[in-house]
């Protein structure tokens, strides 16, 4: 999956380098992102977000994410699914460049569901708690309406079952850009 994402990025990069330089960076009214994410320990998933840009540097983001992990060892299996819905501000640095760095602080709720047979019969545990993502990344504009999220790095924090979990997450994907500010 990661190889496929890098192949798409490479092909789009080569295609865009063949084109003449676009006009200066414009601020879209809205941006829609979807992509692959990895949060360590075999935890693969997705990240999707929509951002409405208030001006050249401030956007409001709503993000949905999911991470899925499966652990197996000598007849023991555990499936862990975590989903989050987060909201918050994004600060972007738009210059006379195709690269747009950004940072965000997102807050909301996360839900965890674990299924295991560690203690004999199938057991299910779940919890819903506070969740946050602090981080940022780099978008590389390919055309006026398309960008590649070359990288997004986030520090994720949740509080499941009364304890705090701290994770890192890396995401890559496609950004669709709509309208102009």
**Mean pLDDT of the 92-110 span:** 95
Task: Please provide the average confidence, as pLDDT, over all residues in the chain.
Answer: 88
Q: List Cα–Cα distances, 179 to 106, 112, 145, 172, in angstroms.
A: 24, 36, 8, 23
- With 50 as the cut, is the pLDDT of residue 19 above it? no
85: containing domain = 2-178
Beta bridge partner(s), residue 47: 35, 65
pLDDT band at 17 (very low <50, low <70, confident <90, very high): very low
pLDDT band at 11 (very low <50, low <70, confident <90, very high): low
pLDDT band at 3 (very low <50, low <70, confident <90, very high): low
Q: How far apart are CA 75 and CA 107, in angstroms?
A: 38
Instruction: Look at the chain and report how many structural domains it folds into.
Output: 1
Which CATH number fits the domain that encloses residue 9?
A: 2.40.160.20
The bridge status of strand 165-178 relative to strand 30-38 is antiparallel
Please tell me the predicted confidence (pLDDT) of residue 35: 98
């Amino acid at each position: 999956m990661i190889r496929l994402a890098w192949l798409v990025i490479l092909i789009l990069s080569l295609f865009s380098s063949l084109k003449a330089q676009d006009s200066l960076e414009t601020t879209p009214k809205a941006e829609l992102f979807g992509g692959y994410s990895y949060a360590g320990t075999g935890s693969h998933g997705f990240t999707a977000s929509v951002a409405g840009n208030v001006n050249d540097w401030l956007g409001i983001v709503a993000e949905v994410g999911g991470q899925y992990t499966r652990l197996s060892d000598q007849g023991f299996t555990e499936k862990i699914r975590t989903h989050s819905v987060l909201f918050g501000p994004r600060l972007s640095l738009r210059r006379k460049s195709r690269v747009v760095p950004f940072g965000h602080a997102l807050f909301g709720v996360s839900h965890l569901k674990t299924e295991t047979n560690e203690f004999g019969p199938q057991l299910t545990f779940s919890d819903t708690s506070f969740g946050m993502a602090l981080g940022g990344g780099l978008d590389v504009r390919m055309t006026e309406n398309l960008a590649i999220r070359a990288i997004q790095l986030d520090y994720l924090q949740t509080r499941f079952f009364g304890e705090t979990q701290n994770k890192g997450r890396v995401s890559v994907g496609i950004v669709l850009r709509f309208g102009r500010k």
